[in-house]
Amino acid sequence: MDTAFDPRRHVPAPAELHGRVIAITGAGEGIGRAVALACAEHQAQVILIGRKVAKLEKLHAEILARGWPEASIAPLDLEKAVARDYDQLADALLERYGRLDGLLHNAGILGTLAPIEHYDVPTWCRVMHVNVTAAFALTQVLIPALKKSADASVVFTTSSVGRAGRAYWGAYAVSKFAVEGLAQVLSEELAGISHVRVNALNPGRARTAMRRAAYPAEDLESVPLPESLTGPYIALLGPASQGVSGGSFDAQSAPAAAAGAASSAASSS
């Protein structure tokens, strides 16, 4: 891995993603929506994956109205999807585009903030399924499409609580540790046999519904908008990070205040 690469320093060119096909989970709102718009603005063909069709349709219409490359909608409920649903998505993608150049795993759920001793087991299983197992399953069925690309990138959304354990973050933190491991294992497996690179990205503090659920008393004005954080995503999904794999990056610098030390989790939506 290129240890000098820092996606925060990259300034994308206007047509940086021209000709690329990029799939984004959790595209209906929050960071997923912001990154989908940014990818389309930089001329990528975006596949919008999410469970709320109305939100995906609204985003699709917005991309179309701005004159950017037409997006595709791929409804998928990561909590309820079965093997057939994943296979159908992969088949439809290959039939339409013939390959996949980028895959951003942005969808995720918070669960509850509670001590392990009292953590609700069904909630634990649900968080692990959506945040880890579903990401694994979707990646697995899309690897053939990714291998058909001359320069493909998979980006998993991680968190500061998935790098150092923190009390009361429960299943969410453990799921992010698992995501970090999944990204590293997949990077090692695909190295040398494909043009697919795999990295993890921690978005940090962002003004999203998940962030609000984790920090209900926080001053919203102090939290960055998702639209301000898209640069590092473009860097990792586009040609700027070619050859960079197995890394875990940050989308923004850690907050200087002590409160910031516990605040860079729970930002994906």
pLDDT recorded at residue 260: 39
Per-residue pLDDT averaged across 23-35, rounded? 96
For residue 225, the model assigns a pLDDT of 87
Residue 11 in domain: no
pLDDT at position 101? 98
In this structure, is residue 8 part of a structural domain? no
| Mean pLDDT, the chain, whole residue set | 92
| Residue 42: domain span | 16-254
Residue 7 lies in a domain: no
Output the pLDDT for position 233: 97
Cα(177)–Cα(86) distance, rounded to whole angstroms? 24
Domain-embedded: residue 189: yes
* Residue 67, C-beta contacts closer than 8 angstroms, at least 6 positions apart: none
Q: What is the mean pLDDT of residues 264-268?
A: 41
Mean per-residue pLDDT, 172-196: 97
- pTM, two decimals, is 0.91
CATH code (residue 150):
3.40.50.720
Q: Tell whether the model's pLDDT for residue 249 goes beyond 70.
A: yes
Domain count of the chain?
1
Q: Looking at the domain assignment, is residue 265 inside a domain?
A: no
Residue 268 lies in a domain: no
HSE-up of residue 135 (Cα within 13 Å, Cβ side): 32
Q: How many residues does the chain have?
A: 269
Question: What distance in Å separates the CA atoms of residue 36 and residue 145, rounded to the nearest whole number?
Answer: 19
Query: For residue 264, what pLDDT is reported?
Result: 39
For position 206, what pLDDT does the model report? 73
Catalytic positions, please?
172
pLDDT, position 1: 54
pLDDT value at 256 more than 80: no
The pLDDT score that the predictor gives to residue 214 is 75
In a domain, 60, yes or no: yes
- pLDDT band at residue 4 under the 50/70/90 scheme: confident
| DSSP character string of the chain | --TT--GGG----TTTTTT-EEEEETTTSHHHHHHHHHHHHTT-EEEEEES-HHHHHHHHHHHHHTTPPPPEEEE--TTT--HHHHHHHHHHHHHHHS---EEEE----------GGG--HHHHHHHHIIIIIHHHHHHHHHHHHHHTSSSEEEEEE--GGGTS--TT-HHHHHHHHHHHHHHHHHHHHHTTTSSEEEEEEE--S--SHHHHHH-TTS-GGGS--GGGGHHHHHHHHSGGGTT--S-EEESSPPPSSGGGGG-SSS---
Q: Provide the pLDDT for residue 210.
A: 76
Residue 3 falls inside a structural domain: no
One-letter amino acid of 33: R
Q: What is the pLDDT of residue 223?
A: 85
Whether residue 93 contacts residue 139, with contact meaning beta carbons closer than 8 Å, is answered with no
% of the chain at pLDDT higher than 90: 84
pLDDT digits (tens, 9 = 90+) for 120-168: 999 999 999 999 999 999 999 999 999 999 999 999 999 999 999 999 9
Q: Is the pLDDT of residue 106 over 90?
A: yes
Determine the pLDDT at residue 175: 98
